Amino acid sequence: MKDLKDLVRPNVWNMKPYSSARDEFQGNASVFLDANENPFNRPYNRYPDPLQWELKKKIAEIKGVKRESIFLGNGSDEPIDLIIRAFCEPSIDSIVSIAPSYGMYEVAANVNNVEFRKIKLDEKFDLDTDSLLEAANDWVKVIFLCSPNNPTGNNLSRDRLYKVLNTFQGIVVIDEAYVDFSIEPSFLGELDKFPNLIVLQTMSKAWGAAGIRLGMAFASPEIIAILNKIKYPYNVNLLTQERALYMLENKEQMEKQLRSILSERIRLQAALPELNCVRKIYPTDANFILVEVTNADTIYKNLVRQGIIVRNRTNVTMCNGCLRITVGKSDENDALLEALKKM
């Protein structure tokens, strides 16, 4: 990897972050008259911990990483945007990613006026490592990858991800939003080996908490310090921090729901290919299945008419004729199968 200083935008490297009242005093006290807060309405009258240390302690324990290697944000969308703002000089630097994949990388690149290059996956929806690395010239500061990938559902193969991590001299982001649904291990265990790696995870999928907006980025303490420097001071609100901590402390709940989703996934994988309107289903390591159907637009509309909403991906690169179907509860999946049977 290049020196971090040569990858980070100079203005970001040189700037001083906003210093809040909570940053300037640390220690024990009982009278807080420093932040212009209202003394009534506890505990919500107080600004939340800007660095969310209590929550990070629990996440560190569950994920087996150091607290200093964790960044928490308002969903994964926040670290995606901050990574671009930290490393990519608008209209000069570029990003390389894959197609098809999650749309937010490109949106965040566009917002920041950063060129976004997409390398098509191969016919097995796996990485075309050679083309990817060829596109990653000196102006490319970040490569965004997603594994298991959305909307295809599969893991990118591990040896190809290692090849990218070993070869590319800039930052490699691996978005693991769906990793808990996969039997493959997370790349969190590789953080110490690859100083250029950033792993993204989220409470939105396996944890069933998309509504609280908590995204996680894991990387070297040096990279995390850069993200902390440019984030909004109180980017994760107190309600989210409280609720997330509660959920992490009761993770048997999540594990139970995860088992149910995985067994429903197996059931859908068996039932869908039996239907007349289904041409093929793609392998999945996530909580959704990419399904090629006889007529995606018509079937999508027919499902909507019956109050069943799936994602029509027919206009996405390499997904012609495909619907992306999220694995629901047993009765929801029954309703889907019943409806599809008649199409």
Query: 227 vs 340, which CB is nearer to ligand PLP?
Result: 227
| Residue 228 near ligand PLP by CB under 6 A | no
Q: How far is the CB of 148 from ligand PLP (least distance, A)?
A: 9
| C-alpha closest to that of 11 among 231, 230, 232 | 230
**What's CA 123's distance to the chain center, in Å?**
24
Query: 186 vs 204, which CB is nearer to ligand PLP?
Result: 204
| Contact set for ligand PLP, span 69-128 (CB under 6 A) | 75-77, 102
| C-alpha closest to that of 300 among 289, 290, 286, 314 | 314
Query: 171 vs 340, which CB is nearer to ligand PLP?
Result: 171
Query: 210 vs 309, which CB is nearer to ligand PLP?
Result: 210
Q: How far is the CB of 313 from ligand PLP (least distance, A)?
A: 13
Q: How far is the CB of 305 from ligand PLP (least distance, A)?
A: 26
335: its two tokens: 């309703």
Q: How far is the CB of 88 from ligand PLP (least distance, A)?
A: 19
Angle of CA points 29, 33, 34, to nearest 5°: 95
Enclosing H/E stretch for 107? helix 104-111
Residue sitting closest to ligand PLP (CB) = 75
Query: 88 vs 203, which CB is nearer to ligand PLP?
Result: 203
| Contact set for ligand PLP, span 167-186 (CB under 6 A) | 175, 177
Q: How far is the CB of 2 from ligand PLP (least distance, A)?
A: 26
Q: How far is the CB of 210 from ligand PLP (least distance, A)?
A: 5
Per DSSP, the residues of 17-73 read: PP--HHHH--S--S---SS---SSSTTTTSPPPTT-HHHHHHHHHHHTS-GGGEEEE
Place of tokens 């629990």: 58
285: its two tokens: 């390591």
Query: 125 vs 277, which CB is nearer to ligand PLP?
Result: 125
Per DSSP, the residues of 190-236 read: GTTT-TTEEEEEESSSTT--GGG--EEEE--HHHHHHHHHHS-TT-S
Contact string 185-204 vs ligand PLP (x = CB under 6 A)? -----------------x-x
Contact string 138-157 vs ligand PLP (x = CB under 6 A)? --------x---x-------
Question: CA–CA separation, 204 vs 210, rounded Å?
Answer: 4
Residue 321, sorted as left (phi over 0), alpha (psi -120 to 50) or beta, turns out to be: left
Question: CA–CA separation, 129 vs 158, rounded Å?
Answer: 11
Among 215, 258, 285, 289, binds ligand PLP (CB under 6 A): 215
Q: How far is the CB of 202 from ligand PLP (least distance, A)?
A: 3
Q: How far is the CB of 77 from ligand PLP (least distance, A)?
A: 4
Binding residues (CB under 6 A) for ligand PLP: these are 75-77, 102, 146, 150, 175, 177, 202, 204-205, 210, 215
